[in-house]
Amino acid sequence: MSHVPADRGHLARPDDAGGTPAVQGSSFVVAIDGPAASGKGTLARRLAEHFGFAHLDTGKLYRATAFLVLDDGGDPADPDAAEAAACRVTPALLADPELLSERVANASSVVAAIPGVRAALLAFQRAFAATPPPPAGGAVLDGRDIGTAVCPDAAVKLFVTASPEARAARRVKELRQRGAAAIYDDVLQDMKERDARDSLRQVAPLAAAADAVTIDTTTLDADQAFETASDLIARALAGRR
Ligand code: C5P
């Protein structure tokens, strides 16, 4: 199922939202939150594919913002530069492989702590959830604040987590598979710093929604996580009919 509309225009601006309500109309929304390398991205993609829903990896929006700031030689902590970059993010940029680098990952959690950046990216996420690209009848969004802030009325909310050590080991494997050099201790340290920035920021911090079901993937494999999540979604869908 497609991730984002294929147009080259900018994402919807905050002004376009017209106070977009936090309801998702008739679209069935699955909100998946969790820290880096918890397995939420893989799970989100598989669930979207299985149920015929559209998928949005919202981390890409923050990564694209960080990438644009770095590309201009700017400071990701500079609110003016970061907000201007958030307004320049295009759907096409979300597919750039450069967004997957550790440099961009680390800068993304710096721009993500800036309220104006989050505001600039909110309307696009809510619009995607409310009106997923046809023919999808639902949407899976994964990130840090989907169940708590972006889609508080989502039909199913999952919080996918794992120990920092398990997540760092996964990230090292992933980086090496892409041909990038990766030292476990450095990756673990960066991940802990990013977790702290994401969890301790003032606006929309990484947190499980009160009504989220937690899936700990430290000892679960991808198939077991998928079984647990797809059962929950199937039951919620059945309850809607
Ligand atoms: O999920 P991913 O690792 O690609 O996210 C990159 C960064 O984007 C996160 O560390 C976080 O700071 C930010 N993010 C966020 N809210 C989201 C998704 C990602 O703040 N919904």
pTM: 0.91
Beta-carbon contacts of residue 45 (< 8 Å; ≥ 6 apart) = 55
Ranges of H-type helices in 75-221 = 79-86, 102-111, 115-130, 164-177, 184-200
Distance from C-alpha of 140 to C-alpha of 54, rounded to nearest angstrom: 6
- Give the ligand 1 atom nearest the CA of 197: 12
Compute the distance from residue 52 Cα to the ligand 1 centre, in Å: 24
Q: Write the residue with the smallest CA distance to atom 9 of ligand 1.
A: 109
Q: Ligand 1, residues 58, 61, 62: which to mutate, most atoms within 8 A of Cβ?
A: 62
Compute the distance from residue 239 Cα to the ligand 1 centre, in Å: 31
- Give the ligand 1 atom nearest the CA of 109: 12
Distances (CA, A) of 139 to 71, 110, 220: 31, 27, 24
Query: What pLDDT does 9 receive?
Result: 62
Residues with CB under 6 A from ligand 1: 36, 58-59, 62-63, 105, 108-109, 112, 143-146, 194, 198
Query: What pLDDT does 241 receive?
Result: 74
Q: Write the residue with the smallest CA distance to atom 11 of ligand 1.
A: 109
Q: Are 35 and 167 in contact (CB under 8 A)?
A: yes
DSSP 162: -
Compute the distance from residue 205 Cα to the ligand 1 centre, in Å: 10
127 residue type, one letter: A
Compute the distance from residue 63 Cα to the ligand 1 centre, in Å: 7
Q: Write the residue with the smallest CA distance to atom 5 of ligand 1.
A: 59
- Give the ligand 1 atom nearest the CA of 105: 6
User: Residue 138: in which H helix or E strand, if any?
Assistant: strand 138-143
- Give the ligand 1 atom nearest the CA of 110: 12
User: Residue 216: in which H helix or E strand, if any?
Assistant: strand 213-216
Q: Are 51 and 139 in contact (CB under 8 A)?
A: no
Q: Give pLDDT tens digits for 72-110.
A: 999 999 999 999 999 999 999 999 999 999 899 999 999
* DSSP secondary structure, 55-93, as one string: EEETHHHHHHHHHHHHHTT--TT-HHHHHHHHTT--GGG
Q: Residue 138: which of 61, 55, 22 has the closest Cα?
A: 55
Q: Which domains does the chain have, with CATH numbers?
A: 29-229 (3.40.50.300)
HSE of 200, CA atoms in CB hemisphere, 13 A: 7
Torsion angles phi and psi, residue 162, rounded to 5: -165, 165
Query: What pLDDT does 25 receive?
Result: 59
Compute the distance from residue 97 Cα to the ligand 1 centre, in Å: 16
Task: Tell me the Ramachandran region of residue 168: left when phi exceeds 0, alpha when psi lies from -120 to 50, beta otherwise.
Answer: alpha
Q: Residue 186: which of 110, 103, 112, 109 has the closest Cα?
A: 103
- Give the ligand 1 atom nearest the CA of 125: 21
Q: Which residues of the chain have pLDDT under 70?
A: 1-9, 12-25
Query: What pLDDT does 119 receive?
Result: 97
Query: What pLDDT does 112 receive?
Result: 97
The partner residues of 54 in beta bridges, in order of sequence, read 139
Query: What pLDDT does 7 receive?
Result: 45
